[in-house]
Every structure is written in structure tokens, then in C-alpha cells.
Structure 1
């Protein structure tokens, strides 16, 4: 499943929203300056990479899907790209000062991801895990779009609770000084842009092609029904944690 998004590598980068620049300032302040190296796990096509480069640290990106890794290398030639799963990647001796993961923590092996992240960091190193949560500014839009999804595909898609990766990291007992700043912004999308976004969701990519089309038709009709624009309440959580020195 970690290679699911290679099917839509180009669309993924165009359709998914980027990350607020405030994430860079938060990581730098938490780390106590610019790390001398950053490793990003599950970097995909580089949506978060472009933001993380604002740290000014030499960057290595670890990405298991060769299609995503190729797009990432073309987009950011200054970045070292390693095509491998996190579980197969060997960190340098002594560990790295900072490890980041954006929208990919759930794709890592839940039995080992915290231990691997801990062991990849040098003592005192910084872990930064972040991701978006999509909601709707207007409750009526939320209800209409959810009803459209369910009308086309009644099978319920399980959503992880807010803050799940904070609880996962803090609950591992491997890290100290765990913090979780939240960044919010309104994101208006027209019908076509929203459908492109839906087309990159793992739940949509798992559906058979005919069912994908039914979902897009139903959701598109719902958005057109209230003027052709949906305003997302885009919430980005950043979890910061430290390997004990």
C-alpha cells in the first residue's frame, strides 16, 4: 500500500495542498537552530520537501515508490533521493539530527516505526511528523458531500481520530518533550480541483475504476449544487519529539 500513490504521482503533486511555512520555523525553534542534516521519510513527490528545504539543511529523502521517487528527484535535484522503504533504509552511523515524515506515518509499519525513528536519530535528535486533516468550513457542505460519498459507496471509510499520530508517538515511550502545534487555514476549491484532490485519496484509489467514477460524479454534483465551490477547513498538525540525549 505504500506504493499506491505512484499511480497518480503527477496528479498528487498538483492536487494536494502544500504545507504552511510556519512548520519550518517551528521545527527550527524546537531543534534549537538548523540541523546539519534532515532525512524525510515517505517523501512522495516532494510536497513537504519544498517546505522543509526552507530549513536550509542538506536533505535526504527516502521514498519506496520508484515513480514518486523519480518525480521527486526531477523536481529537487539538490536533494539526495533513496528509493527504499523506511524499514529497509539504513541510517548513517551515529544517527541523523532530524527526521521528518509528512502524511506518511500511517504507511510505516506500526509495530516498528517509533523504534526505527528513535534508532535513526542521534541522541537529542528531533522527530517532526505532520499531516493534514480535511474538514469543511460550512456544516451544510460537510453534510452534502458526505451524503454524496455514501450514496455512491455505502461502505464506510474509517477515519483516524484527530491527533492519532501524537498519541502514537507519545505512547511509544521512546521520546521526550512531545509537542503538537496546530495550523489552520481556509482552502477554497472549485468542483474540478476538489475532485482532483479526491482522486489522490487512498480510499478512492482502492476502489474499482467504475466505482471511482460514480463517487466523483456524485460528489461533483453535490458541490455544483451549492455553487461550484467548497471551502475546506484545512488543519495541519505538527508533532515534534526528541530522542533522549
Structure 2
């Protein structure tokens, strides 16, 4: 499933919201200095790459989908792009100072992702895992949109709680000084922009084409009913952890 996003590589960067600029400062403050390199796992088309470049370190991006990797390399020519899965990527001898993963931790092998991340880091290195959680500022809008999804596709999609990966990283016992930071902002979207966003979500990409169209029509009609705008409550969770020295 991690490779399915290549289908929407051309529109992914425009449809998905970016990341708070403050992320870079949080990573720098936690790490304690500008790292000699930052590796981003599952970089996609570079939405988080743009924010992570502000850390000031040379970057390597590991992205398994060649279509996403092509867009990423074109947008960030100074970034080294490695088109392989994280599980097949050999970290350099001694490890890397900072390893980041944005909206891709759940695509890594759950049996090995914590151990692989720890092994990829240098002693004392920083792990930074981040993800968005989408909700709605107006509960009535949220209820109506959820009802629209269900009317078109009654098969429910379970959402993970905010920052679920922090509990996993802590429970692994491989890291110390695990910290969580949260950022939030209101994100108003037009009907068309919301439909583009939905088109990039994995549950939508799993649906057959006819069902995709029904879902988009249902949510589009609902947002039109609000006057053509829905405001997302966009929450971003950043979990920072350290490999013991």
C-alpha cells in the first residue's frame, strides 16, 4: 500500500497541508546542535522535507515509490534521494545524527521499525516522528462529512489517536528522553480543495474507481451545503526520542 501514493504524485504536494515551520526549531533544540546530516524516511514528494531543511543539515531522503521520488528529486535538487524501502536502506557506518519520519511511520514494518530506527542512529542520535491528525473545527461539519463518507461507503475507516507512535517508541525500550510536542492550526478548504485532499488518502486510493467517484461526490455536495468551505482542525504531533549514547 505504501507504493499506491505514486498514483497521485503530481497532485499530492498541492493537496496535502504542509508542516509547521516551528518543527525545525524543536528538532534543533532537542538535538542540541546542527546535525551533520538528517535522513528522512518515507519522504514522499517532500512536504516535510521543506520544513526539515530549515534544520540546516544536508539531507538524505529515503522514498520507495519511484514516482514520488522523481517529484521529490525535481523539487529539491540539493537533497540526496534514495529510492528504496527503509527496510532495504543501509545506514552509513556509525549511524546518522537525526532520523525523521513524517506521516510514514505506519507504513514501516511494525515488527522492526523501532529497532531499525535505533540501529540507523548514531549513539546519542535523535529520532523525530511526526504526523497530522485531521478533524473539523465545527463539530456539525465533521458529523455531516462523516455521514457523507458512510453514505457512499459504509465500510468504516478506523483513525489512529493523536501521537499513537509515541507510545510505541516509548514501549520499545530502545530510546530515552521521549518527548511529545503538539501544533495545531485551522485549515479552511474549498470544496474542490477538500476533494483533492480526500483523493490522496490511502482509504480513498484503495477504493475501486466508481466508489471513489461516489465518495467524492457525496463529500463535495456536503461541503457545498456549508457554502463551499470546510475548516479543518489540523493537529500535528512531533515525537522526539534519543538513542542512548
Q: TM-score, normalised by structure 1?
A: 0.99
Kept in 1: contact 2:180–2:237 (CA 8 A): yes
Structure 1 residue 16, shift from structure 2 partner: 0.2
Q: Which residue of 2 aligns with 1:88?
A: 88
Kept in 1: contact 2:131–2:163 (CA 8 A): no
* Number of equivalent positions: 245
SS in 2 for 1:101: strand
Q: Which residue of 1 aligns with 2:66?
A: 66
Structure 1 residue 156, shift from structure 2 partner: 0.6
Kept in 1: contact 2:163–2:238 (CA 8 A): no
Q: Which residue of 2 aligns with 1:78?
A: 78
Superposition CA RMSD, Å: 0.5
What are the within-5 Å matches in structure 2 for residues 51-130 of structure 1? 51-130=51-130
Q: Which residue of 1 aligns with 2:207?
A: 207
Q: Which residue of 1 aligns with 2:24?
A: 24
Q: TM-score, normalised by structure 2?
A: 0.99
Distance between the aligned counterparts of 2:210 and 2:169, measured in 1?
38
SS in 1 for 2:86: coil
Q: Which residue of 2 aligns with 1:155?
A: 155
Structure 1 residue 163, shift from structure 2 partner: 1.9
Structure 1 residue 52, shift from structure 2 partner: 0.5
Q: Deviations over 1:57-86 (max 9, x none)?
A: 000000000000011000000000000000
Distance between the aligned counterparts of 1:20 and 1:161, measured in 2?
20
Q: Deviations over 1:158-200 (max 9, x none)?
A: 1112221111111111000001100000000010000000000
Kept in 1: contact 2:96–2:120 (CA 8 A): yes
Q: Which residue of 2 aligns with 1:2?
A: 2
What are the within-5 Å matches in structure 2 for residues 185-200 of structure 1? 185-200=185-200
Judge which range, 220-229 or 154-163, deviates more. 154-163
Kept in 1: contact 2:102–2:131 (CA 8 A): yes
Distance between the aligned counterparts of 1:226 and 1:113, measured in 2?
42
Which contiguous aligned blocks of 4+ residues in structure 1 show a shift greater than 2 angstroms? none
User: Gapped runs of 5+ residues in structure 1?
Assistant: none
Structure 1 residue 131, shift from structure 2 partner: 0.8
1:216 matched to 2:234? The reply is no
Q: Deviations over 1:211-237 (max 9, x none)?
A: 000000000000011111000000000
